[in-house]
Structure 1
Amino acid sequence: MKKILLIAATAFVSMASFASVDPVKGKVLESFRTEFGEAKNVQWKSIDDAGLYQATFQYRDTELSAFYDEAGALVATARYVSKDNLPIMVTKSIRETYPEHVVRNVIEHISNGSTTYHVTLHGEKSSLIVSASPAGSLSVFKKIKNKL
């Protein structure tokens, strides 16, 4: 399950690796219409190596991605959120752990009733993507050395 979460989070950030699927049919489309009937500007992608389908769309003035398995079950949702909307404990942990880094963007990822924040941090020597729980525990997902 952790692999699916990481694939879904990475997929939301890196749209280039998807095969376009249009239109999606069957249980996946039926589930999507039931869950997000008010969605606008829906674009579908297939994440072949994970057996998932991603719908990216506008929903109540927010861009959102929803991930479905082949049986039509909603696996996860993801959306960009403002750094000002991070839970206070996440903000505190990032400031204490990475004081030399600046928050660039935040993806809120919800799966199995659990929320994770994927935060891109930029520093002078390196950039990081850290995963954070709402309680503030952090783990490095990816580290990139900046070119001098």
Structure 2
Amino acid sequence: MKPQINLLIKKAQKSFSKKIMIVAVAATLIATSAFAGGEENKAKAISSLKKEFNTAKDIEWKVTDNYIKASFNWNDQQLEVFYNYDGDMIAKSRHINPLSLPIDAQQTLAKKYAGYKFDETVEYNGQEGDHYFYTSMIKENTKILLQITPEGSVSVFQK
């Protein structure tokens, strides 16, 4: 009886090994094709970036499920440009000095958020003509993200 059990175990191991191999090959093919698509999409974004910002320096790329982002220096400014997978720009932003915010916004921030300190301020331009400023402010252990319109209207974007 023991030889039969050993024979069955060996057959099961061979069958199991083949299944593991098939799964491993399939996973490798899927991962490779996904990576190749990501590289192709990134190449389109790189081409678009070179056309728009040919003197960009220190470019860092990030590929996500929804977009491709390039972070770089251009004309002494820190920019981030977002592309879709066809290489079309969908938005761009740049880090700015809080003193570049609209004056009405600066007045609102000084009154309503007295005691807060600026952490980061960004100007954002979207493909649909969206134009906003975002600033994060910190006070003790509290950090808030504010959205500011070009007219100077301030609202809480995220607490």
Same fold, judged at TM 0.5 (above): yes
Q: TM-score, structure 2 length as denominator?
A: 0.67
Determine if the alignment matches structure 1 residue 30 to structure 2 residue 17.
no
**What is the identity, as a one-letter code, of the residue corresponding to 1:28?**
A
- For residues 135 and 107 of structure 2, the distance between their equivalents in structure 1, rounded to whole angstroms, comes to 13
The 3 A distance-change label for structure 1 pair 22 and 90 is farther
Partner deviation per Cα, 1:9-56 (whole Å, 9 max, x = no partner): xxxxxxxxxxxx77821x3222111111111121110122xx200011
Out of 79, 89, 93, which is 1:74 matched to? 89
SS in 1 for 2:54: coil
Percentage of pairs with the same residue: 27
**What is the identity, as a one-letter code, of the residue corresponding to 2:150?**
P
- Aligned partner of 2:7 in structure 1 is none
- For residues 93 and 119 of structure 1, the distance between their equivalents in structure 2, rounded to whole angstroms, comes to 13
Out of 133, 136, 158, which is 1:117 matched to? 133
Instruction: From the two aligned structures, give the one with the greater helix fraction.
Output: 2
In the TM superposition, what is the alpha-carbon distance from 1:133 to its structure 2 partner? Answer: 0.7
- Aligned partner of 1:95 in structure 2 is 110
SS in 2 for 1:75: strand
Alignment length (residue pairs)? 120
In the TM superposition, what is the alpha-carbon distance from 1:126 to its structure 2 partner? Answer: 2.5
Instruction: From the two aligned structures, give the one with the greater strand fraction.
Output: 1
Extract unaligned runs of 5+ from structure 2.
1-37
In the TM superposition, what is the alpha-carbon distance from 1:105 to its structure 2 partner? Answer: 2.0
Q: TM-score, structure 1 length as denominator?
A: 0.72
The 3 A distance-change label for structure 1 pair 130 and 40 is same
The 3 A distance-change label for structure 1 pair 125 and 39 is closer
Extract unaligned runs of 5+ from structure 1.
1-20, 144-148
- Aligned partner of 1:130 in structure 2 is 146
Contact kept in structure 2, 1:22 and 1:44, CA below 8 Å: no
The structure whose RCO (Cα within 8 Å, separation 6+) is larger is 1
**What is the identity, as a one-letter code, of the residue corresponding to 1:139?**
S
Which structure 2 residues correspond to residues 35-46 of structure 1 after superposition, within 5 A? Answer: 35-46=52-63
Structure 1 outlier segments of 4+, above 4 Å: none
**What is the identity, as a one-letter code, of the residue corresponding to 2:90?**
V
